[in-house]
Structure 1
Amino acid sequence: MIFDGHAYCFPPLTGTGGFSEPDALRKHLQQAIAVHHQPTWRVRDRAPADASGLIDMENWPALAALKDADFRASGLGRFEWTVDGEDYAKQYFPPSMVDMSYPADRLVAEMDYAGVDKALLHRTPYLGVGNDFIAECIEQYPDRLLGLAHTPEWLVLSDPNGSVDRVARAVNEQGLSGLHFLPPQLNLYGFDGPWDAPGFQPFWDGVAALDTPIFFSLKERATPHRDSFLNEIKTLTRWMARYPNTTVVMTHGIGWRNFMGDDAIHLPDAVWEPFDNPNLHLQFLFPIALGAVWDYPMPQVRPVIEECVQRIGADRIMWGTDMPIVSRFWTYRQNIDFITRYCDFLGTDELDAILGGAVAKLLGVVE
């Protein structure tokens, strides 16, 4: 079974995305696009440009830093904005995303063509909040799709009980398979501290009692990026010491871009410390992180994959793609071939675990 451990579906990004405030989705999108590494160009002549018209980069993690630039989802996978009468654009999704939405039937069609059996839908607020849309996706394709719950991270401190209730309903009533928690969302609303601070404990106690996997998307939350990411690793390690029996997944990988140099990735010993907990699993999504840096089939990351398998074990590693976003670099099939054809150091059992067995076991899916 090939099980994509990290994919997305989302409603039209020209709407509210489930936010109660009409302009909130646009703000989340504007911050995400402003700080993203995809290139910016000037629309009239495609000349290289920058995104400085979108945000004050001195305070890049916060929504308060956004600038008024008529930011908009213009279609065809791109976002545009206007500064001093000049239009600028950034291609975040592939151009095939004509209407800036990605319903379940489109993902399943891609899965059919690539030979992917199942996919786990992940969350990020700039692709919409609330759990109803994701629950409807998995209800539409119960044999193909599973989904993660989400609760707005920025409301956890002020409303821990309501936040727990939202997750509990999603898991116990709507059929979702775990919680996706994204610490950088806290910074958007002005909280720069650790997400294991005492004020978070009522929420985490309640979520841990649900006995559902928690997927953490760790990312730099301040400058310098490398130091910030390593602080997030420390927070995760402390959190797991408090909740040692909770199943945890580190999504996306180990902050690969923070450790690049000499055409390679050099991971410090500190990033491996949390994996001493056998309940911590790792996703790796190299193409979405590094597809703009290294070409297919990306031989530069093979030593890192070998190191991950040696240090963690294939039974705790899960492959994912970030579909549909990754298709701005690679096809769905290339994401599979990258592992099956170009990682010849992996044995059959290791391939089976990474390409689906590990995530299926974690979620209780029968192959």
Structure 2
Amino acid sequence: MILDSHCHAWRRWPYDPPVPDPDTRGSVEQLLFEMDVHEVERAALVCARIGEGAFANEDNNEYAAQAAQRHPDRIAVIADVDCSWRPEHHTPGAAGRLRETAERLGITGFTHYVRATNDGWFRSEEGREFFAAAAELDLVASLAVAPAWQADLRAIAREFPTLPILVHHLGGVSARRPSFESDLAEVLTSAREPNMLVKVSGFHYHSARGWDFAYDDARPVFERLFAAYGPHRLCWGSDFPASRHFLTYTQSLEVVRSYADFLAKEDLELVLGGTLARVLETRRPVPVPSP
């Protein structure tokens, strides 16, 4: 069983430079095609209401929800709520906007991208109300946070222990930053919180050379995350189609399936799908087995 914890789809391709096929390159149909080819049963579709002008995707939450209605066994909607590119980002009323989105679209979870600099919002009354609403609504939290946010995120995890928190792309650490070791230390420290999980995705963002498959400088980070979190709190993700500039869907899968030689067969099965399947099914953190 393979499940994709992190992918996207857009009605219009949102990125520069312009492409010759903007109406299809990032479509749900393209995603489903890749899933079929690679025998991926289900995907958590992380919405991103991005793009400008004729290529804006203001309706990305609705686009994903419509796809989930057509393919309820294939697509789980992770709605964009107050992400950093939104004008309402970290303004009053976040909890209400989350509730409205969840009730209107029937989402599985939400994504919340923040800026690199920690503005303290997670620890604010507004931030705590936001995550309290997420826990009450039985949503999955899919968060794009830089390591500077990890300490505050640990506080949220402790306050709302029933909320599963999935941190994007190897915890947001990068070999390109001088702060790499201290950044990674923050992400590893967060393994103490049993409801925090990490997406095994975005190797191309971590690597000093994003095109250099099979990411020899990123796989050791995966191994250190595995040692800290274990397979029950790691979830593979493709980052398709945003990743297309760097690697294929096949490569996003094989960097884990074929190159992570430290994973036993049962570990690999959990990372590639078993862990995410349980989180999506229960909307609860995965119990960590006793040693």
Number of matched pairs: 270
Aligned to 1:184: 115
Alignment of structure 1 residues 99-178 onto 2, 5 Å: 99=23, 102-126=26-50, 128-130=57-59, 131-153=61-83, 154=88, 157-160=91-94, 162-170=96-104, 174-178=105-109
- For 1:361 and 1:324, how far apart are their aligned partners in 2? 25
Retained in 1: the 8 A contact 2:95–2:126?
A: no
Cα distance in structure 1, aligned partners of 2:189 and 2:208: 29
Q: CA offset at residue 268 of structure 1?
A: 4.4
Matched, 1:75 2:19: yes
2:289 maps to what in 1? none
Query: Are the equivalent residues in 2 in contact too, given 1:287–1:326 (CA < 8 A)?
Result: no
- The Cα of 1:135 is off from its aligned counterpart by 0.5
Letter in 1 for 2:42: K
Q: Determine if contact 2:78/2:109 at 8 Å carries over to the other structure.
A: yes
Separation of aligned partners in 2, 1:246 and 1:237: 12
Check whether the contact 1:151–1:163 (CA below 8 A) recurs between aligned residues.
yes
- Normalising by structure 2, report the TM-score: 0.81
| 1:354 to 1:113, Cα distance in 2 relative to 1, 3 A | same
> 1:174-211: per-residue Cα shift (whole Å, max 9, x none)?
332111111229x8xxx944332123333333222112
Question: 1:162: Cα distance to partner?
Answer: 3.2
Report the secondary structure of 1:339's partner residue: helix
Closer, same or farther in 2 for the Cα pair 1:290/1:234, shift >3 Å?
Answer: closer
Question: Hey, what does 2:54 align to over in structure 1?
Answer: none
Matched, 1:306 2:223: yes
- 1:256 aligns with one of 165, 173, 178: 173
Whether the aligned pair in 1 keeps the contact of 2:174 and 2:207 (CA below 8 Å) is: no
Within-5 A mapping of 1:51-90 = 74-76=18-20
Cα shift at 1:265: 6.8
1:211-222 equivalences in 2 (<5 Å): 211-219=138-146
5+ unaligned residues in a row in structure 1: which ranges? 15-28, 34-72, 77-96, 220-228
Per-residue CA distance 1:133-187 (angstroms, 9 max, x = gap)? 11011122222221112322525632245313323315xxx332111111229x8
Preserved contact between residue 8 and residue 46 of structure 2 (Cα < 8 Å): yes
Summarize the alignment of residues 322-341 of structure 1 with structure 2, pairs less than 5 Å apart: 322-341=239-258
Give, as a single letter, the amino acid of the residue that structure 2 aligns with 1:362: V
Aligned match for 2:124, one of 188, 197, 202: 197
Corresponding residue SS for 2:217: helix
Q: Which is further off, 281-290 or 303-312? A: 281-290
Counterpart amino acid of residue 280 in structure 1: M
Give the partner amino acid of 1:201: R
Distance in 2 between residues matched to 1:306 and 1:125, nearest whole Å: 33
C-alpha displacement of 1:260: 5.1
Task: Identify the residue that residue 6 of structure 1 maps to in structure 2.
Answer: 6
Amino acid at match of 1:313: G
Question: SS where residue 121 of structure 2 aligns?
Answer: coil
Alignment TM-score, normalising by the size of structure 1: 0.66
Quote the Cα distance in structure 2 between the aligned partners of 1:305 and 1:13.
Answer: 30
CA distance in structure 2 between the partners assigned to 1:268 and 1:105 by the alignment:
36
In structure 2, the partner of 1:296 is 213
Q: Distance in 2 between matches of 1:286 and 1:234?
A: 22
The one-letter code of the counterpart of 2:143 is: F
Aligned residue number for residue 45 of structure 1 = none
Q: 1:277 aligns with which of 193, 203, 217?
A: 193
Instruction: Report the residue type matching 1:75 in the other structure.
Output: V
Alpha-carbon distance in 1 for matches of 2:187, 2:26: 34
In structure 2, C-alpha distance between the alignment counterparts of 1:161 and 1:337, rounded to whole Å? 39
What are structure 2's unaligned runs of at least 5 residues? 52-56, 283-291
The one-letter amino acid paired with 2:251 is: Q
Separation of aligned partners in 2, 1:341 and 1:206: 40
1:13 CA drift (Å): 4.9
Rate the CA distance shift 1:199–1:298 in 2: closer, same or farther, 3 A. Answer: closer
For the 8 Å contact 1:138–1:146, the answer to whether it is kept is yes
The separation in 1 between residues aligned to 2:226 and 2:28, in whole angstroms, is: 32
**Inter-CA distance 265–192: structure 2 relative to 1 (3 Å threshold):** closer
1:361 aligns with 2:278: yes
Matched, 1:346 2:276: no
Fraction of identical pairs, as percent: 23
Give RMSD over aligned pairs: 2.8
